[in-house]
Structure 1
Amino acid sequence: MNYKIKDLSLANDGKKQIEWAEMHMPTLLEIRKRFEAEKPLKGVNISAVLHVTKETAALVKTLKMGGAEVALAASNPLSTQDEVAAALVTEGISVFAWRGESESEYYNNIESIVKIHEPHIVMDDGADLHAFVHEKMSSELKVFGGTEETTTGVIRLRAMEKQGVLKYPVIAVNNAYTKYLFDNRYGTGQSAIDGIIRATNILLAGKVAVVAGYGWVGRGIANRLRGLGARVIVTEVDPIRALEAVMDGFDVMPISEASRIGDIFVTATGNTKVIRVEHMLNMKNGAILANAGHFNVEIDVKGLKESAVSVRNIRPYVDEYVLQNGKKIYLLAEGRLVNLAAAEGHPSEVMDMSFANQALAVEYLVKNKGKLQNKVYNMPIELDYEVARIKLKSIGVQIDELTEEQKGYLEQWKSGT
């Protein structure tokens, strides 16, 4: 087995972390029981680019117990939990990941899990693996399907589909209701704040917090910040989302105005250069910048470095930039995902649903091999409902069922008042 990690001796610590995660992931473990008995993924090679965390380990183990051979690389240079990577290697997983990879090492690791593994299915978080497969690999590639975990990746894949270059069907796991309504909102909402607090140990109550973007991630972050006593401003380019933020009780204004009054800034847009040098020059002395979007492009880090007269690391994941006007700006986690770089990522209970969707999406691709077009598909709604039902059962919640009369009523059109 090929692998490249930081330190195999960390495996015992990693196994305990994985055990802790699995205690809080009953939905995925219920699916694992069936996978272990039925082996629906037997003979399938899976290459995955995901955050190498204890929760991802629970997913990868489930896939392996379902019969798959799995190779794993990190979807972010700073998100790998090295003890988890070591533990997975001892479980027979080919892992190419360690915390603090350089950009070249990051892409070399992606290349490794494809070239040594010849995948049938690719799983991704951000679409870097999908892009590599399409740009670098030959037409003889054996891939017959893929999945995508995050909003940014789905946007990239839909662009590939629109341009007619997508070579295989992809399930947009991100678009499952039991993913984005919970993972994006509650998961990122809590974990991004966790990363900011761990990195800075600042008090949020009374601070002016600016959240760029009011998608599901932005909604979650804004509401968690408000819950901790911050005064929250939202910036948006989408008029409907901006209106929703207003109706939800937040102040809404352009970033050019918000930059003058914010104490903390969190980007969650999936777009590039949302906070630029022109905005940083307007900020208060001591302003804190954090990113919750997938790629480190939302804050213009390059521009910040070029504009700074000095840079120094103050504490782990906190870099101080002194601007030409004398103001100090504090950038968290190099502008990368603050929840995974400065903290542990989403709580296991949330990833339980996201990764249950991933497991079922892979099974769906295997069952429907050769039947799907080369396009991006939303998660089949019946699988979404299955995840929700298992999750509800695991937390002891029961719901009603439609009677036959009610089902009939919803399927006709003649009955009125």
Structure 2
Amino acid sequence: MVVMLKDLLSRINPRQAQDSEPTYRIALDIGTEYVKAVFLEQAGGVASIIGVGRSQQDYADMDSGAIANIAGVVRCCRQALTQGSVIAGVKPTEVVVGIAGQFVTGVTRTVFRQRKRPDKGLTRRELSRLVAGVQLEAQQYATEEMAEKMGFKKMDLELVNSAVVDISIDGYQVSNPIDFRGRNVEMTVFMVFAPLVHVSAVKTVVERLDLDLVGLVAEPYAVAASTFTDESYEFGSLVIDIGGGSTDLALIHRGGIVKTKMFGIGGRAFTKGIAAYCRTTLREAEQLKLDYAAGIEVGDEVKEIITADLKIWQDALILALKELYQGQPLPPRVVLCGGGSGLPGILETIAHPKLVESELFAVIPEVRLLQPEDVFGVADPKDFLSAVQDVTPKSIAFQASQAEPKTSTIFGGVRYG
């Protein structure tokens, strides 16, 4: 049996999708290499993909998963949206955008609160106040930690999305706390923060596209929320999403996401390595990399370059995993997705004795490559998203189908408007 990531707030007020008239929404994946616009139709409680538009980014438009040229990204997004709208036959205005990049960070915080009126049932408003307090505390902590890492005295972070993953009242665990009475509330909240400059760039892009931003969702959160089973949450898992500009990690344990980490080495790093050593253009180097991934003979030089860069990527992965490490061995179940996951040798680089020697894992991890059909909760009857690199946009589409309208109070614990 599969379950969505335990965002308890979404259980309290799920999106009303039983309307007789279908509604439409866009899930936008602004990747380093491609923009993917997924068009959704919600009818009778079922979300279906009715069109997809794709457009390739210019190399200067993105850097390590973050927007580097707003005008260029707007132009690319507009091309993808136009293509998708022609296929879908509709032009929705609501959009949910995936966000990634090496400075996007996720943390989990567990807090204890005593209620002043334990004889009264817990209300949604009271729960929202509790969550808001946790978010404020976590934001202050994350801001100080990020500023210290980057060498700044002050820095501004924004909350991207959050989810209540566990809650108990007087030691009694509940899945929906509304109307329960009691004094002592223990709550675990997962939150994702990103630098203000990163989030504001995404919002500016959406504004220039004349779209209505329903919400942002961290991409590793989206993948975990849309693909993981009960067993994955119970025994722990690790998500590795290798995009064009960054690699995103999410540690899953005890029923929810514990922490996320991203580092700025993705598929584009391998392309640059080929271009530098073969003295060719980035476009030609990208094609050589794709040919190698497809099993086409490219010569020993390209193989040696990619093998060397895989070792560098492995070292960066180990450093990132050390930040996820919490004193206990990391779960040996690893799921892999993203365009870079199809590179020959990447699975062996993860399932390698070096990761055990680093004392991060007790055993060599078992790696499974995610496919779009592993994403549940959203139908794709025409197989618009069928390649391994389509797992992330399809996962964002699932989150878009679950998101509350902007006029609602909560989307994943984040207030808008």
Band the TM-score falls in, shorter-chain normalisation: under 0.3
Compare the two structures and name the one with the higher strand fraction: 2
TM-score of the pair, normalised by structure 1: 0.23
Greater fraction of residues in helix: 1
Question: TM-score normalised to the size of structure 2?
Answer: 0.23
